Structures are given as structure tokens and as C-alpha cells.
Amino acid sequence: MSESQIIRTEYSEVMKKSYIDYAMSVIVARALPDVRDGLKPVQRRTLYDMHELGIRYDKPYRKCARIVGDTMGKYHPHGDSSIYDALVVMAQDFKKGMILVDGHGNFGSIEGDGAAAMRYTEARLTKLTQEVYLGDLDKNVIDFMPNFDETEKEPVVLPVRIPNLLVNGAEGIAVGMATSIPTHNLCEVIDAVKAYMKNDAISTKQLMRYLKGPDFPTGGIVVNKDDLLGIYESGQGKIKIRGTVEVEELKGGKKQLVVTEIPYTMIGSGIGKFLNDVCNLVETKKTSDIVDISNQSSKDGIRIVIELRRGADVENLKNLLYKKTRLEDTFGVNMLAVANGKPETLGLKSIIEHHVDFQFELATRKYQTLLTKEQDKKEIQEGLIKACDVIDLIIEILRGSKNVKDAKACLTNGVTEGIHFKSNISKKMAAMLCFTERQATAILEMRLYRLIGLEIEALQKEHEVTLKNIAHYEDILNNYESMSDVIMEELDQYKKEFGRKRQTLIENAEEAVFVEQKIEEREVVFLMDRFGYSKTVDVATYERNKEAADAEHKYVVHCMNTGKICLFTDMGKMHQVKMMDLPFGKFRDKGTPIDNVSNFSSSEEQIIYICDAEQTRFAMFLFATKQGMIKRVEGSEFQVAKKTIAATKLQEEDEVIAVTIVNDVQNIVLQTKGGYFLRFPASEVPEKKKGAVGVRGIRLAKDDELENLYLFEEGTESKVAYMEKEVTLNRLKSGKRDTKGVKNRG
């Protein structure tokens, strides 16, 4: 036995190398498409497996479970869900520019519904895939490599004849990088390829005369046409896309907006989110022009109907939808693909250049294979024609030979020993024969009917065709122009058979500008009951119902309708609520739960103080906690834009028991659960930042905690109830902060 060898190395170096190897494996062998065929490995393997199973476009559908299982067992040893997901996407016409798989059954919907389980669905290849992606596999045009367990061979790349990377785009997340390539129109892509083949010095700008920009299967409008050149030159950028909105006239002078095409990025759950966003615009009073919204989409296409009130400003409302919903969205472009075995960000011209190089490589290998076959055919044909001229001699050799070996030796090398001839002349003629090995084999296998005059004539015509094919193939292989013509001719055929009209409009549109209706500023009264239902009413309504309003509501705050209110909670948070988010109306209206319009959660925290946000600007706030900590904080610290902030810092298991506005002339009385009262001037409480814990206000006995905080001014009588008795605060003996206080016996 050989001794084991211990290699000492730096751990970080091993980790670094292992991670880089893993990352490159994910990048090259899983997540990114190859620039040549525009396919990820899982897509390539699935299509090749369907080809091997014979599931052609003109054959019956086969269960997807069979395809997935076969692909996983032979070529792709990863989860079945990854293979089925790839298969489903290749069959979805709302995701791909040209579908590669013809799906039968439920393959999901544009609204985000998932496909049925693979045991229910069926699939087969489309004609495009069979002819353009998998054609010529039998002509040695690509290399094959062993599969994962070296029991099968799989193609390194498929012989795709169109730039699939552009036609169908790509999306993938690797390690430290991601690809996002939009779909394009097949006809435009083919025109751009032909333009490059005619002039390889062509610029990206000139190429874009043919390829205008992305063509999404969902249609829509690209609105930043001028940015496209920079995107296609660098391979990176942002494309702005909008849905198509039509205005329909209704009876009675009313109108409705109909969304007939959505942005490509809205596919799936984005449609549901759009409907919710439009509802939110109405609920938050961003617009009062929308009466109703309904999704009437079907298999015939997208149709989202937004009913408007009479006299609505249609253009302004369209701009609102573009600004506040995903009806206008951004598609981030990052044209990253595997080129020459490594990931590379490619511009439009680079992608076409790689594609054309690949096509010349395919054509060279294809016509080299065809030429070899024709040359082999020519050799045999010439032998048979020559044999027909000396057929009597050949028959004599065959009849005089003892075995096939002697006959073959005579035909190829003129060896006459061991063969019986009728005459010496025949023997001399036989010694002059020099057929090739292939020709001799063909002669020996030739059937007698080939000696019929018409058959000999057909053989000669076939030989002429073979000679023409050889000349044609040699011309293609030896002449760049000829090969270019053949490739372009094939592209024209694909364009004619599979091309379709552009679906996405490309233009330079003005940025959507929504003019908000100016709201008349006025004072309102915020009302919230003990269940958290909130609303606002005008001051006059409140004054008329003041007694009932004060009795029925826990919080009553005067503020402006354009302002906000601040909610301070026992968890030390401050939530802000815009008055415009609350319903404004009649005194007897129920209102809306405060949870619905703020980040406040009634199940996790309690409101202990509410005030007008404007009031905080110049106020001083006093905080007190259960553990007896107090502090003063300037109100300006709560002048923030965020909906929720930490209003104070709390120690472990502590909570806020009081927040109130305070001034220096007031006195503070702290009351504990155990009945201790401590009175001291408010000026003794130091000013702190909102992020501070504060200072100790009262020394608490064991198991005691602060229960209440009271404020009063000198010269005013202030009474509170404690243990069913009244306590007059201004008669309490004045003490100092951070002392124990006086015990009240109740």
C-alpha cells in the first residue's frame, strides 16, 4: 500500500478556489445561455431529448412526465421541477418571441396561473424547432460530449440557424451576475444578420435600421427610443415600456379606459398588483375620476376596463396610471451570455457576429459532410458505369472464381490466379482491371436488373447530378460569397415561413406628468374611538356634535386636512398618518381602522398618545416608561418623512406608559402601582435625543412599576383618583427627581 500524502495549504485559498469553481459551474452549465444557440443547458437538453424520442411537430403529443423523466435520466441530473419549468416557459407564447414547444393542456396563463402537473400535460416540438433548431444533426455539424454518467452522448450546442438569443431573449441569475435579454422580432433579426453578412464593418446604428428594438410578445410601447442605441452598443441599460391604453366612448357622454396590452414586466402577479394599485389610487383620493375597474381578459387577449365618471380628464388619468402603477415599467437589459466558454456582456453587433461565425462553421461542416457523401457516391457510380461496359468479362470472372475473395482481388488488382477463364484474351483483359475497393464491393452487390438499358441510363443521369452537386458543394466550401448566399437564402425561407408582424411599438414619448388637483386647505377634527376606527369631520360638524363626539371617541385632535397626525405607542414607536388617507364625511360614519392606513398594529402595540404632526414642530415632549425612566425630547426630532420611526429607546422588558407635551413651568407627578407619588419640577428632567433611554425619574421598590404621569401648573388645583379616593396633586410635598417619593395609603 502506498503511504497517504498530506498536503498543507491555506484554508482560505482552498475555499476561494472551490467557490470560483462552483460559481463558474453555475454560470456556464446552468444559468446563462450560450451565444451560439441562445439556450441554457436545461433547454438544450430538453429539446434534444424530445428530438431523440421522435416527438416531432407532425407526430402525436407525448406526456410531459415522460419527457422530463427521460431528460433527467439521460442528460440533466437536477430536479424534475427545473426541467418542467423550462419546458413550460418554452411553450408559453406570452413569454417567448417564438415558442419552441407545442404544449397541449394547461401551460399556465399570462395572469400568473401555474401550469398543470406534468402528469396531465402533453407536448411536442414545433415545426420551427424541428427544422431551424434541430435540423442537420445527422450531418456532423456539431460536436457531442459524454453525458453526466458517460452512458449517452449529448450535443455541446444545437445547430440553431437563427439568432435565438435575440429572438427569444433570456433571463437567468447566476453567481454574482445575471442576464436579462429582451425578445425581438424574427424578421427584423434576420434582416440585421443579412446586413452584417453583406458588410461586416456595419455599425450598431446602421444595424438598428433593420432591428428597431425589442419586440415583446405582450406588445406594449417602448417609450425611450433614443436610449436604445446606447443600450444595444453597450449591452446594458433600461428600456421603458408602457401598456397600450384605448379610450372607449359610452352612452351618456361617459368614457372608459381599456388596457389592451400590458408591459412585458407585468406578466404574472403584476396584473393583480395593477388592479390593486388602481383601487388604492381611489381609496387614497389620488383620483376621484375612476368609478370601477374590472379584468375582462380572456384567451382572446388582455382587456382591463377602467370606468370613468362623466367629465373625467382622460389624459391626466392615463398619466396618473403611468406614474403610480406598473402600467409604465422598466425592463433592465444586461445582455450577458457564454461566449467562447466564458461569460461576456455583448452588444447587438457582437451577438450577430458570434451568430454569423457559428453559421459559417455549421455550413462548412454540413457541406463538407455532404461533399464527402457525394464523392463516395461518385466513386461507386463511376465503377458501376465502367462495369456495365465490361459486364460480360465481369460475369466470366464471377463464374470462374472459387470464392468472393478471388473475384474481388481480380476486380481491384487484376489478380487472375485461381480463376477459370474461357480464353486467354479474357484473362489478359481481367489482368488489366483496377476497380477501387468500394467499386468492387458495389459491383459484387449489384443486382441483375441494373443491366436493363433504362437503368443504365438512369445511372448515368444520377452520375451527372452527383457531379453537379460536387461542383456546387466545392463552390460553397471554397467561396465565401457562395456560402453567404446559401445561408441568407435559408434565412429568407425561415422569415417567409415563420415571420410575423411586430407587436411592440417603439417611439419617443413625453414623460408622464400627472397634475394633482389642488386640495383646499382647511381645519378638520380627527376622531378615533376605542376600537381604533378613525375619520375626519369638519369643524362645524364637530361643534354641533361636540358632547357626543367627546363622549364616544377616545382621541379628538384638531388639525389641517393636508397634514398628518403622530401616534405614539407603548413599544416606543411613532407612526404617522396622512389626513388625506382617512375618510372625511359625516359624524355618524363608521370610519376606517387606523391599522389600515398606517404601520400601527393593534395586535402588537397600544396607542398612548396622539397629536397633530405640525404641533410637534415647536413642542417639547415628555416620555415616561414602566421602569421609571423619563426624558424630554424636542418635537423637531419627530419632523420626519417616514411613516414609522423609533420614538425612544427602551430597556429590556420596558414599555412607554406616557407621552405628553410639557413646558418648564409645569410640575410632574409620578405615580407607581404600589401607591408612591413623587412631585418635582419639569425643569429637572434633562433634554435627550429620541434615541436615548433617558434618566431615572423615581426609585422603584422591588416588584413596583410606574403607572401614571400627571402634569399641573403652580396655583392650579389638580385632583386625580387613586384607590377610589381623590388625591390633590398640588398639595403633595415637592421632592427631587430620582427619589422614592411619598407613599399614599389610599
Q: For 232-271, give the DSSP string.
A: HHHSEEEEEEE-EEEEEE-GGG-EEEEEEE--GGGTTHHH
Q: How far apart are CA 698 and CA 739, in angstroms?
A: 5
Fold classification of 39-159 (topology level): Topoisomerase II; domain 5 (3.90.199)
**Which candidate, 575, 484, 487, places its Cα nearest to that of 532?**
575
Handedness of CA 313, 316, 318, 323 (dihedral sign): negative
**Domain residue extents for the chain:** 39-159, 244-326, 360-497, 523-743
Q: How far apart are CA 422 and CA 442, in angstroms?
A: 25
Strand 221-222 versus strand 505-506 pairing type: parallel
User: In this structure, are residues 193 and 352 in contact, taking their beta carbons and an 8 Å threshold?
Assistant: yes
The whole-number average pLDDT for the span 354-369 is 96
pLDDT at 515 over 70: no
Q: How far apart are CA 377 and CA 477, in angstroms?
A: 19
The whole-number average pLDDT for the span 484-497 is 96
pLDDT band at 603 (very low <50, low <70, confident <90, very high): confident
What value does the mean pLDDT of the chain take?
A: 90
Q: What is the CATH number of domain 244-326?
A: 3.30.1360.40
**pLDDT tens digits for range 388-432:** 888 888 888 888 888 888 888 888 888 888 888 888 888 888 888
The whole-number average pLDDT for the span 639-653 is 92
Residue whose C-alpha cell reads 468472393 in the numeric block: 404
pLDDT band at 501 (very low <50, low <70, confident <90, very high): very high
**Which candidate, 307, 291, 297, 292, places its Cα nearest to that of 256?**
307
Q: How far apart are CA 8 and CA 509, in angstroms?
A: 64
Cell of 44: 438544450
pLDDT band at 622 (very low <50, low <70, confident <90, very high): very high
pLDDT at 14 over 90: no
pLDDT at 517 over 80: no
Q: How far apart are CA 362 and CA 159, in angstroms?
A: 7
The whole-number average pLDDT for the span 306-323 is 89
User: In this structure, are residues 309 and 196 in contact, taking their beta carbons and an 8 Å threshold?
Assistant: no
DSSP 444: H
pLDDT at 453 over 70: no
Q: What is the pLDDT of residue 1?
A: 46
The torsion angles phi and psi of 616, rounded to 5 degrees, stand at: -75, -20
Axis-axis angle for helices 480-498, 186-198 (nearest 10):
170
3-state secondary structure of 300: coil
**Which candidate, 372, 366, 422, places its Cα nearest to that of 392?**
422
Strand 328-334 versus strand 290-295 pairing type: unpaired
**Which candidate, 55, 34, 111, 123, places its Cα nearest to that of 83?**
123
Architecture of domain 360-497: Orthogonal Bundle (1.10)
pLDDT band at 230 (very low <50, low <70, confident <90, very high): very high
User: In this structure, are residues 147 and 48 in contact, taking their beta carbons and an 8 Å threshold?
Assistant: no
pLDDT at 717 over 50: yes
* Chain center to CA of 15: 31
User: In this structure, are residues 503 and 215 in contact, taking their beta carbons and an 8 Å threshold?
Assistant: yes
Residues acting as catalytic residues: 120
Residue whose C-alpha cell reads 385632583 in the numeric block: 719
User: Under 8 Å CB-to-CB from 314, ≥6 apart: which residues?
Assistant: 247, 255, 257, 308
Q: What is the pLDDT of residue 421?
A: 84
Largest CA-CA distance found in the chain, in angstroms, rounded: 155
455-462 own/partner pairs: CB under 8 Å, 24+ apart: 456/385, 456/388, 459/381, 459/384, 459/385, 459/388, 460/385, 462/381
Least confidently predicted of 57-71, 297-311, 342-356, 513-527: 513-527
Exposure string of 236-270, with b = 16+ CB inside 10 Å and e = fewer, is: bbebbbbbbbeeeeeeeeebbbebebbbbbbbbeb
pLDDT at 466 over 50: yes
The torsion angles phi and psi of 456, rounded to 5 degrees, stand at: -65, -40
pLDDT at 470 over 80: yes
The whole-number average pLDDT for the span 64-85 is 94
Least confidently predicted of 2-11, 229-238, 577-586, 616-625: 2-11
Axis-axis angle for helices 80-91, 41-52 (nearest 10):
80
Examine domains 244-326 and 360-497 and report if their fold is the same: no
3-state secondary structure of 124: strand
Q: How far apart are CA 75 and CA 42, in angstroms?
A: 9
CA contacts within 13 A on the Cβ side of 492: 8
| Angle in degrees, CA 404, 407, 411, rounded to 5 | 135
Least confidently predicted of 168-172, 381-385, 575-579: 381-385
**Which candidate, 718, 690, 726, 723, places its Cα nearest to that of 707?**
723
pLDDT band at 200 (very low <50, low <70, confident <90, very high): very high
Provide the total of helices (H) and of strands (E) in the chain, helices listed first.
20, 35
pLDDT at 381 over 90: no
Q: What is the CATH number of domain 523-743?
A: 2.120.10.90
